[in-house]
Amino acid sequence: MTDALIHAQNLIRCRSVTPLEGGALSYLERELKASGFTCHRLPFSEAGTPDVDNLYARIGEGSPHICFAGHTDVVPPGDETAWRHPPFAAEIDGGVLYGRGAADMKGGIAAALAAVQQFLRERASPLEGSISFLITADEEGPAINGTKKAVDWLAARGERPDACVLGECTSEETAGDTIKIGRRGSLSCQLTVRGVQGHAAYPHKARNPLPALIDALGLLKMKPLDAGSAHFQPSNLQITSIDTGNPATNIIPAKATARFNIRFNDRHTGDSLKAWVEAQVSAALQGTGIDYTLGYEPVSDSFVTVPGGFVQRLSAAIQAETHREPFLSTAGGTSDARFIKNLCPVAELGLLNATAHKVDECVPLADLETLTRIYARFLQLTFA
């Protein structure tokens, strides 16, 4: 078995469902210390959130400094009896490795670890520069006590990598076909409208908040936010929930609540979209006598790593190992790259995302080896 496969199996067998470390960080710490890394365990806490353990490890001094980032926490497996193979057994079947986290993203961490260990073993001279790992157990959860605070810890120490490779599962059809150079922003909103409860047979004695809510949502959805930008697809607004808490069919409810999410590009900020939402809702409900409140979850603004030497080296490594030119993308949801970009340029490159979070999550062994070779080639190009 290859090093990447051994690492992937050992990591998958750690039951590290968010926010549990489950032994995964301890395994990485042992492997990295054995390879000469100085390791720091970084437990962070905050009231109302679970405590989270994190790991930062570094070897070498000065530049170039390349950081490999990722998360060992995984989402729950769901109904374990529905899996073809037990979700934490890391079994191989037909050239495919099965297990929770195989794609998202213990497989990516395993490939990075194997590539770095191979690179260090094969060097004829001491490393001129630095390699580090920044690993959290809080990416699939609240993301409060994980990478965000680890980045702040690094910045306070004056440690800023020159570039970071985040091993999220970015590939679509074949390993290495996509590099994510940015992410759209995300704004989650809650609109609550209040009327007067009453009997459905006497609507004139009540004030139904639902038509007003529907009008407000209609105005929000009426026009596209934009047509996209140089690196991003058009922004979009999706209504995710409408609820009255009303179990009866003959009662006009007193209030109704809608939730919606906006995924936005670099033509907007969280603050500009909040102002836009409030203007649309105010216009829709003006003169109706319906009271309303708007609430927002913490916003994630969009970002893009403008393609330059770092991204070009990643692309060159992919082309050298796969003979394909990768697509540069900013699609998809959020990731911990939104925190890392405050520290240094970041790009995401990992395994196929087709089975992420699904029953029978898996990764072909060939893809695991391909990604390992890509990472190793990237290190060669960087430290040449």
Give the span between the Cα atoms of 169 and 103, in whole angstroms.
6
Residues of the chain with CATH 3.30.70.360: 185-296
31 carries an active-site annotation: no
The whole model's pTM is what?
Answer: 0.89
* pLDDT at 384 (0 to 100): 86
* pLDDT at 289 (0 to 100): 86
Contact yes or no for 279/210 (Cβ under 8 A): no
Residues of the chain with CATH 3.40.630.10: 3-183+302-382
Amino acid at 16: S
Q: How many CB atoms lie within 10 A of CB 80?
A: 12
Q: Which of 53, 138, 139, 348 is catalytic?
A: 139
Give 127's contacts (C-beta < 8 A, 6+ positions apart): 59, 60, 120, 383
- Tens digit of each residue's pLDDT (9 = 90 or more) over 243-270: 999 999 999 999 999 999 999 999 999 9
pLDDT band at 1 (very low <50, low <70, confident <90, very high): confident
Contact yes or no for 236/223 (Cβ under 8 A): no
Structure-token pair, residue 152:
């702040």
pLDDT band at 332 (very low <50, low <70, confident <90, very high): confident
Spell out the long-range contacts of 286-291 with Cβ–Cβ below 8 A and sequence spacing 24 or more: 288/212, 289/207, 290/193, 290/194, 290/195, 290/207, 290/209, 290/212, 291/193, 291/194
Element (DSSP H or E) covering residue 6: helix 3-12
Exposure on the CB side of residue 132, measured as CA atoms within 13 A: 28
pLDDT band at 373 (very low <50, low <70, confident <90, very high): very high
* pLDDT at 125 (0 to 100): 87
Structure-token pair, residue 240:
């995710």
* pLDDT at 334 (0 to 100): 86
Element (DSSP H or E) covering residue 243: strand 236-243
- Tens digit of each residue's pLDDT (9 = 90 or more) over 86-132: 999 999 999 999 999 999 999 999 999 999 999 999 988 889 999 99
Higher-pLDDT residue of 121, 384: 121
Q: How many CB atoms lie within 10 A of CB 293?
A: 12
* pLDDT at 81 (0 to 100): 97
Burial class (CB in 10 A: 0-12, 13-18, 19+), 132: buried
pLDDT band at 202 (very low <50, low <70, confident <90, very high): very high
CATH 3.40.630.10 fits 3-183+302-382, yes or no: yes
Looking only at the bridges linking them, the beta strands covering 38-41 and 54-61 are antiparallel
Amino acid at 158: G
* pLDDT at 237 (0 to 100): 97
CATH 3.30.1330.10 fits 185-296, yes or no: no
Mean pLDDT of the chain: 96
139 carries an active-site annotation: yes
Q: Which of 31, 73, 138, 336 is catalytic?
A: 73
pLDDT > 90 fraction of the chain, expressed in percent and rounded = 95
